[in-house]
Amino acid sequence: MSRTNGLTLPIPAPVARAAAPAAAASRAGSIITLDQVTKVYGANGTRVHALAGVSLSVERGEMVAIMGQSGCGKTTLLNCASGLDDVTSGSVSIAGQDIATLSDKARTTFRAHNMGFVFQTYNLLPVLSAVENVELPLVVSGVSPKEARQRAQAALERVGLRAQGEKRPAQLSGGQRQRVTIARSLVNNPEIVWADEPTGALDSRTADDIITLMETLNEDQGLTFVIVTHDAAVGARCHRIIHMVDGAIVREERLR
Ligand code: ADP
């Protein structure tokens, strides 16, 4: 297992999964279900109730934005829903699996097989080229170097960066770095991609390109996206916006 900036890199086993059908056709039941989830940080005098009984269901193939002011619990919700963090009470089920019942190791493997992660800060290793960053989770998990390279190049192609594979992150623009991060999140064919402020470090035009890429991946491959964002332009491109205040969902907007 390898950690960068607190992020556990996925350690996937090779999985062959047929391409998902188009989003509309694949909306078949919920893939993410949270039931009365609470999260309390700290102890005694310093307790912070970051999530106050959140229930949420996300459909397979849905693209959902989680919005709300800073400190309302968006990142905590994403971390708890994806199994990056433990809940204090309540339950989280992903693709029918109650993640609380998994050991740490099994949960890491489960995440790696089913989920990709995209963060504002890219979490790319500066000494590695783009293609090496993308293939890293596969190499760590024992996929042969040849296959890992092929899959990483295919993932870079999916995000429009095949020709940039040999460049290091410092030689790429912010938008290109975020594309590399998205390619890395896709390299193991996940069903769900979690994104925490994926456009937060980008100018509005580049942000628009990135959300368009996510939209295309959602529509063409039925990938489920859960996106924490403070950017109304990003929210407007999703199927549904979940609005949070003080650790609770206060409103949902269905856009399409
Ligand atoms: P958002 O993503 O909406 O900005 P967060 O989920 O990061 O909000 O934080 C929700 C609340 O939980 C905030 O009050 C924040 O200070 C607190 N919090 C977040 N992470 C921790 C932590 N590791 N320890 C203690 N408090 C935390």
CATH assignment at residue 197: 3.40.50.300
Q: Is residue 174 part of a domain?
A: yes
**Structural domain count of the chain:** 1
75-85 pLDDT, tens digit each: 999 999 999 99
Q: What average pLDDT is seen over the chain?
A: 88
153-186 pLDDT, tens digit each: 999 999 999 999 999 999 999 999 999 999 999 9
Going 12 to 15 to 19 to 24, the CA torsion angle's sign is negative
Give the predicted TM-score (pTM) of the model: 0.88
Q: Is residue 15 part of a domain?
A: no
- Residues 211-229 have a mean pLDDT of 95
The residue range of the domain holding 206 is 25-254
Q: Is residue 5 part of a domain?
A: no
Contact 181, 118 (CB under 8 A): yes
Residue 11, pLDDT score: 39
Pairing of strands 97-98, 192-196: unpaired
Residue 120, pLDDT score: 83
Burial class from Cβ neighbours inside 10 Å (0-12, 13-18, 19+) for residue 15 reads exposed
Round to whole Å and give the CA distance between 149 and 169.
17
- DSSP single-letter state for residue 84: S
Q: Which of 155, 3, 175 is nearest to 165 (CA)?
A: 155
Round to whole Å and give the CA distance between 166 and 176.
13
Going by CA atoms, what residue is nearest to atom 26 of ligand 1? Answer: 41
Q: Is residue 17 part of a domain?
A: no
Q: Is residue 75 part of a domain?
A: yes
The continuous run of DSSP H or E covering 211 comes out as helix 204-221
Q: Is residue 43 part of a domain?
A: yes
35-72 pLDDT, tens digit each: 999 999 998 788 999 999 999 999 999 999 999 999 99
Q: Is residue 3 part of a domain?
A: no
Rg (CA), the chain: 17
Q: Which atom of ligand 1 is nearest to the CA of 41?
A: 25
Q: Which atom of ligand 1 is nearest to the CA of 79?
A: 6
Q: Is residue 246 part of a domain?
A: yes
Of 76, 196, 249, the one to substitute when testing ligand 1's pocket (max ligand atoms within 8 A of C-beta) is 76
CA of 50 to the centre of ligand 1 (A): 6
Paired tokens of 70: 């800073």
